[in-house]
Amino acid sequence: IDAAIIVEPSNSASEVRLEEQISGMIAGETVERVQLGVREVELLVPNNSPLARHDIIPLDALTGVSVATVDRFHGVALSEALILRLSTAHADVVRCPEGNVLAIEQFGQAKGIAAVSLGWFQYYQGGSPGFVRRRVQQLQLFTHLNLIRLKGDHRPAADLLWAHAQERSQPAASADT
């Protein structure tokens, strides 16, 4: 791998991951990472939803609420962590025809229901008309946008990209992005 951008989940804004998914996929190889940023997983909710009245949604407010969520497209660790947390909150987990986060946000908007938002890939650049983004208290799920590569020699263009990313990288404990 010269370089790849991945979204890795964790329980906090630190570097601690739910699983070392990349290292496990590439047996015997060492993977380098440059963290580009950290975002807390949020919900995109309709303006007219009772959830929109909260600055931070209490976890118990999700009881019986339909929430569109990602599938394994963004990784098993993220998918299963979201489903576990939403199910524990007694939300009605909605599986969408397409499981990537852009499709999830679109689906939530089309159906008028809450949708998981990773914060990195927003369907509408200028915002989401008729919807607001809200943090969920006690959800405790973050995503790290990382550039990864295998240790070793790389093509000059890949080295240039890596150096550029390192110059702009964010400290692991910073969740202010």
How confident is the model at residue 4, as a pLDDT? Answer: 86
How confident is the model at residue 3, as a pLDDT? Answer: 87
Euclidean distance between CA atoms 86 and 163, whole angstroms: 39
Higher-confidence residue of 37 and 12: namely 37
Euclidean distance between CA atoms 171 and 103, whole angstroms: 30
Q: Assign 110 to helix, strand or coil.
A: helix
Q: Assign 57 to helix, strand or coil.
A: strand
**Is residue 85's pLDDT more than 50?**
yes
Q: Say if residues 146 and 177 touch (Cβ distance below 8 Å).
A: no
Average pLDDT, stretch 22-39? 70
The residue length of the chain stands at 177
Tokens of 60: 């118990």
Segment 126-169, tens digit of pLDDT: 566 789 999 999 988 998 888 888 888 999 999 999 999 999 88
| Mean pLDDT, all residues of the chain | 83
Higher-confidence residue of 175 and 171: namely 171
Q: How confident is the model at residue 173 (pLDDT cuts 50, 70, 90)?
A: very low
Segment 33-49, tens digit of pLDDT: 888 889 999 999 999 99
SS3 content of the chain, % helix, strand, coil (to 5): 30, 30, 40
Q: How confident is the model at residue 174 (pLDDT cuts 50, 70, 90)?
A: very low
How confident is the model at residue 30, as a pLDDT? Answer: 79
Report pTM: 0.80
